[in-house]
Structure formats: structure tokens, C-alpha cells
């Protein structure tokens, strides 16, 4: 059995044991979701429905964030790292529109969870979700950036009204090519034994939260991710669905291989400029290293 990886202060480093599954669903012609899962990064991005080139937006933003993390050095500020990645992703989408004006309006959600060895940092914008399963208790780590959530916060509707509300799919914040994204980035407290789920709204819109908790609490991360996707398909599969599951465990999160890509992220055709994203990530690492 491998000994735990510990730093000088004897606090164990923590990482993810990850799994990722994505499906275009039973109605959509293509998959505009993108996902990435590794020991150090879990990520889901969902091209905003109704906008042009959603698969390009989600895949390119996922690629940028993953490239920044893969190009980073240990002990870099994780909040600054994710902030810089999102800032470049915004500029990157703008470059994509300049290359192809038919992409104007493309946008994507982004929910990413980074393990840096000292803890975990969450970046979130849009209506994809992050959940934490600790023992039998499931809690939502993210707040939906949607019109209906704003109405709930204002007391104008209840959470029970959301599934039937005519504007339930309206996203009020996302990563776009036209407006600087307003992304929530915060440290989160995770511990060994926790299980986390990042998912697109193709799961959370159609599968009740108590069912999500029950399915998440079964088997390996791979088993849980597949069961969750299967549940979304059984509920009608009316949207793309992506589930990224990670178990928090002792180990080194700074592993540079074995990342798992799913959805639109798997197709290089959907990436605006892979070389530019990688070059920018390496340039950043050299500057802050």
C-alpha cells in the first residue's frame, strides 16, 4: 500500500479519484456539454442553449482552464490561477468570434473544482451545479445564476415553482465573448471521504435532488457517474447531460497525465486555438513561477 503523500507540516495532500461521463441525450442533435476530470481538476461547461456554437464555447473554455491548471506550478495561488484562466477564456472566445462571425453570441457555463495540495477552490458561473456528498448528506456547493433563482432570492416565487416556470432556463451569467464574466471563485473545505459531483443542468433539471443523492452514494465514481447519466436519460433525456464525480483522497493532485475528456471537449474541431491556450498557460506559469 502506498504511503500517504505528506508535506513538511505532516498535513496530507488531497486529490480527486475522478470519473466523467457525458451523453448528448435523446432529443438534441449534438452535445454542447464539455467535461474534464483529473486528480487535480474537475470541470463541467455547458454551452448556453439557443446561442451559436455552444459546443465551441464549452470545449474551448474547458480547454483553457485545463491548460492553465496543467501548465501551473505547485504552490501557485489557486484563486489567481482560476481568475487568470477565466480572463483568458473570455478573450479567447472573442478571438473565436473574430475568426468566425457566425459564432457571435456563443456562451457557456463553467463549474470547476481545483485541488492544489493545500485545499480546494471552486469557480462557478451559470446553471451547471456542484454538489458535495458527505456521509448521507447532499448539499449544493453552487448557486444557480438564473432568472428563476433571482426570483426565488427576491421572494417572488418558491423553489417549488422553478420546474414549471416559463423562464426556468434563462441564464443571467455565463462566460461569453461580449461581456467580462462575473465568476464566483472561492475556497471550499473538503476532506477525505467526501464525494463531489459537477453536473450540467441536463441532470439537475430532470432528476430530483434526493434521487441524485441516492445514486451518487453508490459504488465507484465511475459507477455513480454512469448511473446519474442513465437516470437523466430515463427521465426523457431532453438535454445533453454531463456528470463529473470525484472522491477526495490522499495523494498528489499535481499529476500531469490521465485527464479524462468528455462531450464536446473530446473533439479538437471544437477548439478555437489549442496552441494559443497552451502557450498562454505556459507564459503565465513562467511569469508567476
Q: Map 87-122 to HEC letters.
A: HHHHHHHHHHHHHCHHHCCCEECEEEEEECCCCEEE
Instruction: Give the per-residue pLDDT at 226.
Output: 98
The answer to whether 19 and 260 are in contact (CB under 8 A) is: yes
Alpha carbon 190 to its chain centroid, in Å, reads: 17
- Across 60-71, b (16+ Cβ under 10 Å) vs e yields bbbbbbbbbbbb
The answer to whether 39 and 16 are in contact (CB under 8 A) is: yes
Task: Tell me the torsion sign for CA atoms 145, 165, 170, 197.
Answer: positive
- CA–CA distance, 49 with 159 (Å, rounded to integer): 22
24-49: per-residue pLDDT in tens?
A: 999 999 999 999 999 999 999 999 86
Statement: the pTM of the whole predicted model exceeds 0.75: yes
Instruction: Give the per-residue pLDDT at 122.
Output: 98
Segments in the chain below pLDDT 70: 1-10, 49-51, 256-257, 289
Q: Radius of gyration of the chain from Cα atoms?
A: 18
Q: Going from the N-terminus, what domains does the chain have, and what CATH number goes with each?
A: 17-288 (3.60.40.10)
Instruction: Give the per-residue pLDDT at 133.
Output: 98
236-277: per-residue pLDDT in tens?
A: 999 999 999 999 999 999 886 679 999 999 999 999 999 998
- 221 φ, ψ to 5°? -55, -40
- CA–CA distance, 41 with 259 (Å, rounded to integer): 9
Amino acid at each position: 500500500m502506498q504511503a500517504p503523500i505528506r508535506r513538511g507540516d505532516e498535513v496530507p495532500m488531497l486529490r480527486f479519484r475522478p470519473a466523467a461521463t457525458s451523453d448528448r441525450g435523446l432529443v438534441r442533435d449534438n452535445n454542447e456539454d464539455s467535461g474534464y476530470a483529473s486528480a487535480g481538476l474537475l470541470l463541467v461547461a455547458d454551452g448556453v442553449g439557443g446561442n451559436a456554437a455552444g459546443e465551441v464555447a464549452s470545449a474551448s473554455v474547458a480547454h483553457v482552464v485545463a491548460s492553465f491548471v496543467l501548465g501551473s506550478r505547485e504552490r501557485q495561488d489557486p484563486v489567481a490561477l482560476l481568475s487568470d484562466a477565466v480572463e483568458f477564456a473570455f478573450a479567447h472566445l472573442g478571438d473565436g468570434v473574430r475568426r468566425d462571425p457566425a459564432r457571435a453570441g456563443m456562451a457557456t457555463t463553467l463549474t470547476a473544482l481545483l485541488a492544489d495540495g493545500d485545499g480546494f477552490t471552486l469557480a462557478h458561473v451559470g446553471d451547471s451545479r456542484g454538489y458535495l456528498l458527505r456521509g448521507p448528506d447532499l448539499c449544493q456547493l453552487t448557486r444557480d445564476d438564473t432568472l428563476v433563482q433571482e426570483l426565488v432570492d427576491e421572494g417572488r416565487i418558491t423553489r417549488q415553482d422553478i420546474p414549471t416556470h416559463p423562464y426556468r432556463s434563462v441564464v443571467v451569467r455565463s462566460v461569453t465573448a461580449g461581456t467580462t464574466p462575473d465568476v464566483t471563485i472561492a475556497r471550499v473545505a473538503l476532506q477525505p471521504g467526501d464525494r463531489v459531483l459537477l453536473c450540467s443542468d441536463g441532470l439537475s433539471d430532470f432528476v430530483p435532488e434526493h434521487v441524485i443523492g441516492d445514486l451518487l452514494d453508490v459504488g465507484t465514481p465511475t459507477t455513480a457517474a454512469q448511473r446519474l447519466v442513465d437516470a437523466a436519460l430515463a427521465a426523457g433525456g431532453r438535454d445533453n447531460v454531463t456528470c463529473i464525480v470525484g472522491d477526495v483522497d490522499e495523494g498528489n493532485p499535481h499529476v500531469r497525465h490521465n485527464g479524462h475528456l468528455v462531450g464536446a471537449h473530446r473533439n479538437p474541431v471544437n477548439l478555437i486555438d489549442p496552441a494559443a491556450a497552451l502557450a498562454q498557460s505556459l507564459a503565465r506559469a513562467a511569469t508567476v513561477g
